[in-house]
């Protein structure tokens, strides 16, 4: 039997993925590292209140892995969310481009490397991806997120409302 090649768009249409993906990663047991999954949890609750969940898929994990490249298929936009020691408080937003980097061969990947894997697998440009890096400071095992980190999380959620509104406007425009 000869394998049949299915494009990313055809595959996505068959599984009817939501046009938006919000993907946060981190460890709920390591203090401020929980910011990514907490962001996903709280944004999901906000979207449920506003009946927006049909337009958005939510995903969280401990880290990005090569298999997550498949989650980009069929999306119009992707928001990656992670805690960061290196960003300015309360958060930083960065438009991403595919790029193979050193993380490609490590245990955890960067969003840019994940986008490159998508490109290599499908032979097409990944959807527009944005990284929301939320400032964290305490990553100790067994500790809850700190007060400053939770304030940064609240600010990031406020920003995300604008990101969602822009997505709704884009989807409402005639194509």
Quick one: how far is CA 23 from the chain centroid?
3
Q: Tell me if 144 is assigned to some domain.
A: yes
Provide the residue range defining the domain that includes 134: 16-24+56-98+110-169
Q: What is the pLDDT of residue 100?
A: 84
Instruction: Name the strands in the sheet holding 77-84, side by side, starting at the edge strand that comes first in the sequence.
Output: 56-61, 20-25, 77-84, 129-135, 91-96
Q: Tell me if 147 is assigned to some domain.
A: yes
CATH number at residue 84: 3.40.50.1450
Q: What is the pLDDT of residue 5?
A: 46
The band of 53, judged by pLDDT with boundaries at 50, 70 and 90, is confident
**Could you read off the pLDDT of 71-87 as tens digits, one per residue?**
999 999 999 999 999 99
Number of domains comprising the chain: 1
Q: How far apart are CA 24 and CA 34, in angstroms?
A: 9
For the chain, give me the number of helices (H) and strands (E)? 4, 5
- Put simply, whether the predicted model's pTM sits higher than 0.75 gets the answer yes
pLDDT at 3 over 50: no
């Amino acid at each position: 039997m000869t394998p049949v090649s299915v494009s990313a768009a055809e595959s996505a249409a068959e599984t009817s993925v939501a046009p938006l993906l919000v993907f946060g990663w981190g460890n709920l047991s390591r203090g401020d590292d929980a910011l990514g999954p907490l962001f996903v949890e709280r944004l999901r609750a906000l979207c449920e209140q506003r009946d927006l969940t049909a337009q958005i898929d939510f995903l969280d994990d401990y880290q990005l892995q090569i298999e997550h490249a498949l989650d980009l298929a069929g999306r119009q936009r992707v928001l990656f969310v992670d805690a960061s020691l290196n960003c300015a408080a309360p958060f930083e937003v960065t438009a991403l481009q595919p790029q193979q980097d050193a993380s490609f061969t490590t245990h955890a990947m960067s969003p840019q490397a994940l986008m490159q894997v998508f490109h290599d697998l499908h032979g097409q440009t990944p959807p527009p991806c944005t990284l929301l890096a939320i400032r964290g400071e305490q990553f100790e095992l067994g500790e809850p997120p700190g007060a400053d980190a939770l304030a940064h999380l609240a600010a990031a959620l406020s920003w995300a409302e604008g990101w969602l509104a822009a997505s709704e406007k884009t989807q409402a425009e005639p194509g």
